Chain A
Amino acid sequence: MTQQAETAEPKIAAYLCAGCGLGERLDLERLAKVAAEAGAGAVEQHEMLCGEDGVARIRGGIQDGATHLVLGACSRRAKTGAFNFADDGAAVARVNLREGVIWTQPEDAGETTQEMADDYLRMGCAEAKFMRAPRAIAADERGANKRILVVGGGVSGMTAALEAARAGYEVLLVEKSGALGGWAKSLHRRLPRRAPFSAPAENDTAELCAAVEHEKNITVFLNAHIARTSGAPGRFSADIAQGENTRTENIGAIVQASGFRRYDASQLPEFAYGKTPDVVDQMELEALARAADENGAPIARPSDGKAVQSVVFVQCAGQRSEKPGHLPYCSGCCCGVSIKQAMYFKMRDSEADANIIYTDLRAPGNGEDFYRAAQEMGVVFTNGAVERVEAGTNGAQLAVHFRDHVLDEDAVARADLVVLATGQVANSGVDISAVEKNEDGEKEKNGNGKDESAEKKPAQVSVPVESILQLDYRQGPDLPHLKHGFSDSHFICFPYETRRTGIYACGPPRRPMDMHQAMEDATGAALKAIQAVENAGLGRAAHPRAGDLSFPSFRRDGCTQCKRCTVECPFGAIDQDAEGYPQFNESRCRRCGTCMGACPVRVISFENYSVDTVGQQIKAIDMPDEFDEKPRILVLACENDAYPALDMAAHNRIHYNAFVRVIPIRCLGSVNAIWVTDALNAGFDGIMLLGCKKGDDYQCHFVTGAALAHERMGKIDDTLNQLQLEPERVRAFEVEITDIARVPQLINDYAAKIDEIGMNPFKGF
């Protein structure tokens, strides 16, 4: 979609609120004059703009022909209900005079407070002039498909399918094996889900399978896989391959519940796995327990069929270890599983010995009750680290050599059977970032064994490279990973979100987990999928700017086809069309503006957020000359964390420097380098970029925005050097929403720093 030419000159009406102390603290007459000079055709004052009467006055202005509104009142984060004129088709610029000025400036500050308000109003008028009211995606371009595709027929997939189906949505469930149930169906018993959490519970997976099979809203495809996925939320299309046949289905959203693979215990020769059948992993013990239960006999040793009298559980086998080939992470559920399995022995024969050797026993949720129940049954818990397991000869017992951490000595425990608590490896598809890195050298083929370079390096998980979704996106066939093969998501704030809009991961592809957690996870993902299809149907953005009607467009004749937007978009929303131009998939877009920040020729914009709406604000401020001793500092503040922190500082009346001018931005990733250049040219003495935390434990709502901004600002340092400007003039900071006192302090410290290095020598040119 190309940008449409402006049809008419915007008609700006400015409204100034005198409530909340604005009337007393500010000279509204002077502000009215400033607005008129800045291009407002009509200026009106009101003693309480957010009240019914005030809002009615604004609506009156729209009826009189105003197309753009400048509201000089409180922060854009306040009174959003009263000041919502989306249905009236008007573009709104909010000027933050309350939180941004009078609440953060001392009452006796004098003229600087008024100057601040004047500037903010000029900026608001400039912003309004260059924005248009968002129009939403045209109804005929919206995807209206509300069917949900669930990939994976284990407990997470079945739960997601059932939840969506029972909420009234049609579900397609694709399972690669010949039966539903996944790993769960092969368990003897499951971890208890209900009080008193004192014994293993019946494995009810078969009932779940039956419920799925009987649900009329669910269509199950067994022995099937996804051969291709394309589209966007509300209009995905997937090729489901079933043997020779492939059928194309249209769906609105996707839940990826592709589960996990068992860690390959044959990589643990030190624990005698493979040397004797009497060393098993947890899944193999489940099989032994099931066989024993069917025969009504005690669990038998695989080597000689003798009833097991003593068993040792080795926790963290090949996990939480930096050794080559081991998993560096904790799989979170193996402690609970070992407790459950130790109970299999103790419940059958209280004289049997079951010893769990652990370094940290992790029993999340109600697992602590379960742990206590096992202790009451007489399961022995030993704090220690197993070094090696020796197989006995001729039916002798196995010897488990370990370090007892409490007694601080080497010890040996003998047992008939040893169970290794190995971990879960995410089954989350191709690591597209690894494929990207390998592209220079040997091009990696899909579905081709393992990533060998990863295997040799220590503490790196080698993930099977087999695509789950086969996305035809330019950015790669699967969900991006964060690390160790787990899908990237924000594990605290928005766990089910992935970096592909409309596709939600649940269960072990997100993090290792047990059945109960996977079922909870699946419910969450199903609800997210429902939300996605509903939002797509209304032409609205998905999380985190849910409900946003704006979408990016680009000016085709300016585009150089550099592809940077397609690469830097954190959500893979941009493909390229047949001619090599970017092709925006609006419903995949999260409206962060990272593409806009990336574009070197500045052709990408949103209706109400563009290089101009911010750039013109920078140019609109009244720059005092060098000898006024009034420096100006531009603060570009992320609207997700930094700007709310500033608002809350204002609510607490924490004052900060009067020479800053704050512009909220959607994400640091949307900061285009031209704004920095413009600001330095306009005479700003310093520029602060306030964004979120980057790195593996990022807090950025758009995943990569903060990291990209830091990378881009690194390049700006070179430019500053060439201009012989101090690198301190442009600085990026990581802040959190809770940094209510810290952000004002950062601003004041930075202002002091600018005082120290002096005024921008380009002022007045």
Chain B
Amino acid sequence: MTSAVEKYRNNFLREVEANVEEGEWVKMCMQCGVCSGSCPLGDAWEHPPQELFMMIRAGKRDQVLASESMWMCTSCYSCITRCPRGLPITHIMHGLANYANRLGIAPKMNPTRRFAKIFWDNIAHTGRVNETKLSLRLYFMDGFFTGLRRAFAMRKVGLGMLRTGRLNPLGLFRAGGIARKGELRKLLARAYEIEDARKNFGKRN
């Protein structure tokens, strides 16, 4: 994989097209900025989608892949519905985030990235989401006392979920999940293998 990317050449754009989900759409952006203007969190993005697309064309590989910006996407789909060129912008944002994560360039402490990882590990483990484990892992990811503070702040929601049966305290001790977990894990492992081979990725961490 190329690491020295020339400015305003197609190298990085081609890399994105090859490796990022829906990346082949990036070249079709006509820089109108409707996506950036439509994003409800637009102000919070360091580089809104229009700018990310331009940075890709400008060959700013490291800045794009290390950016926190695409992790800000909440999948509201405003940009997709409004893009006059029909770019699947939401999917491209997630594709970029996923690619950066796979390369290990994504910002390590980005809360969205960490949540996504906890969520994926949780669901990939048993084939179903275990809400109890998921919430506890999330609250306590920054240490025991921070976890307690977070859990306390969310107690009303937690109790409500308990009452309505949405959160099972026994889930902490029961594995739960689908019937043939081994099959699922084998299936995922094979999918990783195929993707890694196709995209020429290094060893998974």
A interface with B by C-beta (< 8 Å): 310, 312, 351, 353, 355, 361, 371-372, 375-376, 378, 380-383, 404, 406-407, 411-414
B124: min CB distance to chain A, Å: 36
B residues 80-99 near A (Cβ < 8 Å) are 85
The distance in angstroms between the C-alpha atoms of A583 and B30, with both chains bound, is 59
Q: Does B134 contact A (CB under 8 A)?
A: no
What sequence of 0s and 1s flags, for each residue 28-71 of chain B, a beta carbon within 8 Å of any chain A beta carbon?
A: 10110000000000000000001100110110000000000000
Q: Name the CB-closest residue of B to A354.
A: B10
Known contacts: A376-B28, A381-B30, A382-B58. The answer to whether A406 contacts B51 by CB under 8 A is yes
- A382, B8: Cβ atoms under 8 Å? yes
Q: Does B121 contact A (CB under 8 A)?
A: no
Q: Does B13 contact A (CB under 8 A)?
A: yes
The distance in angstroms between the C-alpha atoms of A353 and B57, with both chains bound, is 11
Known contacts: A380-B10, A414-B6. The answer to whether A407 contacts B28 by CB under 8 A is no
| Of A312, A371, A404, most B-chain CB atoms within 10 Å | A404
| Of A355, A372, A375, A380, most B-chain CB atoms within 10 Å | A380
- B9, A353: Cβ atoms under 8 Å? yes
The distance in angstroms between the C-alpha atoms of A382 and B58, with both chains bound, is 8
The distance in angstroms between the C-alpha atoms of A381 and B55, with both chains bound, is 12
Known contacts: A372-B28, A375-B27, A383-B31. The answer to whether A406 contacts B54 by CB under 8 A is yes
B104: min CB distance to chain A, Å: 25
B78: min CB distance to chain A, Å: 20
Name 28 interchain pairs, CB-CB below 8 A, sorted by A. A312-B8, A353-B10, A355-B8, A361-B30, A371-B30, A372-B85, A375-B27, A375-B28, A375-B30, A376-B27, A376-B28, A380-B8, A380-B27, A381-B31, A381-B57, A382-B8, A382-B54, A382-B57, A382-B58, A383-B54, A406-B50, A407-B54, A411-B8, A411-B58, A413-B7, A413-B8, A414-B6, A414-B7
| Of B8, B9, B27, B57, most A-chain CB atoms within 10 Å | B8
Q: Name the CB-closest residue of B to A400.
A: B8
The distance in angstroms between the C-alpha atoms of A407 and B31, with both chains bound, is 11
The distance in angstroms between the C-alpha atoms of A406 and B51, with both chains bound, is 6
What are the residues of chain A within 8 A of B6 when measuring CB–CB? 414
B interface with A by C-beta (< 8 Å): 6-10, 13, 27-28, 30-31, 50-51, 54-55, 57-58, 85
The distance in angstroms between the C-alpha atoms of A353 and B9, with both chains bound, is 6
B201: min CB distance to chain A, Å: 23
The distance in angstroms between the C-alpha atoms of A381 and B58, with both chains bound, is 10
The distance in angstroms between the C-alpha atoms of A376 and B29, with both chains bound, is 10
- A406, B10: Cβ atoms under 8 Å? no
What are the residues of chain B within 8 A of A411 when measuring CB–CB? 7-8, 58
Q: Name the CB-closest residue of A to B55.
A: A407
Contacts A312-B8, A376-B28, A381-B31 known; list 12 others, CB within 8 Å. Answer: A310-B9, A353-B8, A361-B30, A378-B27, A380-B10, A380-B13, A380-B27, A382-B54, A382-B57, A407-B54, A411-B58, A414-B6
The distance in angstroms between the C-alpha atoms of A372 and B58, with both chains bound, is 19
What are the residues of chain A within 8 A of B54 when measuring CB–CB? 382-383, 404, 406-407
A541: min CB distance to chain B, Å: 48
The distance in angstroms between the C-alpha atoms of A506 and B85, with both chains bound, is 35
What are the residues of chain A within 8 A of B51 when measuring CB–CB? 406-407
Where chain A touches its partner, the secondary structure class is strand
The distance in angstroms between the C-alpha atoms of A412 and B8, with both chains bound, is 8
- A380, B57: Cβ atoms under 8 Å? yes
B130: min CB distance to chain A, Å: 44
What are the residues of chain B within 8 A of A375 when measuring CB–CB? 27-28, 30
The distance in angstroms between the C-alpha atoms of A77 and B160, with both chains bound, is 79
B86: min CB distance to chain A, Å: 10
Contact among B13, B28, B58, B85 for A404, CB-based, below 8 A: B58
Query: What 7 A-B pairs have minimum CB-CB distances, sorted nearest first?
Result: A413-B8, A406-B54, A353-B9, A383-B31, A375-B28, A380-B57, A375-B27
The distance in angstroms between the C-alpha atoms of A381 and B10, with both chains bound, is 11
A468: min CB distance to chain B, Å: 40
Q: Name the CB-closest residue of A to B36.
A: A406
What are the residues of chain B within 8 A of A381 when measuring CB–CB? 30-31, 57
What are the residues of chain B within 8 A of A407 when measuring CB–CB? 51, 54-55, 58
What are the residues of chain B within 8 A of A406 when measuring CB–CB? 31, 50-51, 54
What are the residues of chain B within 8 A of A310 when measuring CB–CB? 9
The distance in angstroms between the C-alpha atoms of A407 and B51, with both chains bound, is 6
What are the residues of chain B within 8 A of A351 when measuring CB–CB? 10
What are the residues of chain A within 8 A of B57 when measuring CB–CB? 380-382
What are the residues of chain A within 8 A of B10 when measuring CB–CB? 351, 353, 378, 380
What are the residues of chain B within 8 A of A413 when measuring CB–CB? 7-8
The distance in angstroms between the C-alpha atoms of A361 and B85, with both chains bound, is 15
Q: Name the CB-closest residue of A to B11.
A: A353
Q: Name the CB-closest residue of B to A312.
A: B8
The distance in angstroms between the C-alpha atoms of A412 and B30, with both chains bound, is 21
A419: min CB distance to chain B, Å: 15
A93: min CB distance to chain B, Å: 58
What are the residues of chain B within 8 A of A355 when measuring CB–CB? 8-9
Q: Name the CB-closest residue of A to B8.
A: A413
The distance in angstroms between the C-alpha atoms of A351 and B6, with both chains bound, is 14
Q: Name the CB-closest residue of A to B57.
A: A380
Q: Name the CB-closest residue of A to B6.
A: A414
What are the residues of chain B within 8 A of A353 when measuring CB–CB? 8-10
Q: Name the CB-closest residue of B to A371.
A: B30
Q: Name the CB-closest residue of B to A346.
A: B10
What are the residues of chain A within 8 A of B9 when measuring CB–CB? 310, 353, 355
The distance in angstroms between the C-alpha atoms of A382 and B31, with both chains bound, is 9
The distance in angstroms between the C-alpha atoms of A378 and B17, with both chains bound, is 11
The distance in angstroms between the C-alpha atoms of A465 and B85, with both chains bound, is 47
The distance in angstroms between the C-alpha atoms of A710 and B7, with both chains bound, is 58
What are the residues of chain A within 8 A of B8 when measuring CB–CB? 312, 353, 355, 380, 382, 411, 413-414
The distance in angstroms between the C-alpha atoms of A339 and B85, with both chains bound, is 18
The distance in angstroms between the C-alpha atoms of A382 and B9, with both chains bound, is 11
What are the residues of chain B within 8 A of A372 when measuring CB–CB? 28, 85
B48: min CB distance to chain A, Å: 10
The distance in angstroms between the C-alpha atoms of A353 and B6, with both chains bound, is 11
A398: min CB distance to chain B, Å: 12
Q: Name the CB-closest residue of A to B33.
A: A406
B51: min CB distance to chain A, Å: 6
Q: Name the CB-closest residue of A to B47.
A: A407
